[in-house]
Amino acid sequence: MRKDVVVLGAGIVGVSIAVHLQKRGRSVLLVDKRKPGEETSFGNAGLIQREGVYPYGFPHDFGALLRYALNNTIDAHYHWAAIPRLAPFLWQYWMHSRPAQHKAIARMYAPLIERSVTEHMALAEESGSTHLIRPTGWMKVFRDEKSRDEQFKDAEDVKRDFGVNFDALDTRAVAEREPHLKVETKGGIHWTDPASVSDPHMLTMGYVGLFERLGGELAAGDARTLEQTPTGWRVQTEKGPVDAGEVVIALGAWADVVTTKLGYNLPLAVKRGYHMHYKAVGNAVLNRPTLDFDRGYFLAPMTKGIRLTTGAEFANRDAPKTPVQLQRAEPIARDFFPLGERVDPEPWMGMRPCTPDMMPIIGPAPKHKNLWFGFGHAHHGLTLGPVTGRLLAEMITGETPVVDPKPYRADRF
Give the mean pLDDT of 230-255: 97
Residue 372's CATH number? 3.50.50.60
Confidence band, pLDDT 50/70/90 cuts, at residue 62:
low
Whether residue 124 lies inside any domain: the answer is yes
Q: How far apart (Å, rounded) are the C-alpha atoms in residues 242 and 6?
A: 8
Whether residue 325 lies inside any domain: the answer is no
Whether residue 53 lies inside any domain: the answer is yes
Phi/psi region, residue 71 (left: phi>0; alpha: psi -120 to 50; beta: rest), is: left
Whether residue 366 lies inside any domain: the answer is yes
What count of other Cβ atoms lies within 10 Å of the Cβ of residue 109? Answer: 24
Q: How far apart (Å, rounded) are the C-alpha atoms in residues 81 and 320?
A: 12
Number of domains in the chain: 1
Q: Are strands 195-197 and 133-134 parallel, antiparallel or unpaired?
A: antiparallel
Whether residue 294 lies inside any domain: the answer is no
| Among 385, 373, 374, 372, CA closest to 245 | 372
Whether residue 225 lies inside any domain: the answer is yes
Q: How far apart (Å, rounded) are the C-alpha atoms in residues 7 and 218?
A: 10
For the entire predicted model, the pTM comes to 0.96
3-class secondary structure, 313: strand
Q: 70 pLDDT exceeds 80?
A: no
Whether residue 344 lies inside any domain: the answer is no
Whether residue 289 lies inside any domain: the answer is no
Lowest mean pLDDT among 39-43, 207-211, 230-234: 39-43
3-class secondary structure, 110: helix
Q: What is the pLDDT of residues 295-352, one digit of tens each?
A: 999 999 999 999 999 999 999 999 999 999 999 999 999 999 999 999 999 999 999 9
Q: What is the pLDDT of residues 186-229, one digit of tens each?
A: 999 999 999 999 999 999 999 999 999 999 999 999 999 999 99
- Domain span at residue 16 reads 1-57+97-132+197-268+355-413
Give the mean pLDDT of 369-389: 97
Q: How far apart (Å, rounded) are the C-alpha atoms in residues 349 and 367?
A: 34
Q: 67 pLDDT exceeds 90?
A: no
Q: How far apart (Å, rounded) are the C-alpha atoms in residues 263 and 368?
A: 10
DSSP state of 221: B
- Please state, in angstroms and as integers, the Cα–Cα distance from residue 305 to each residue in 133, 196, 247, 285, following that order: 16, 14, 38, 10
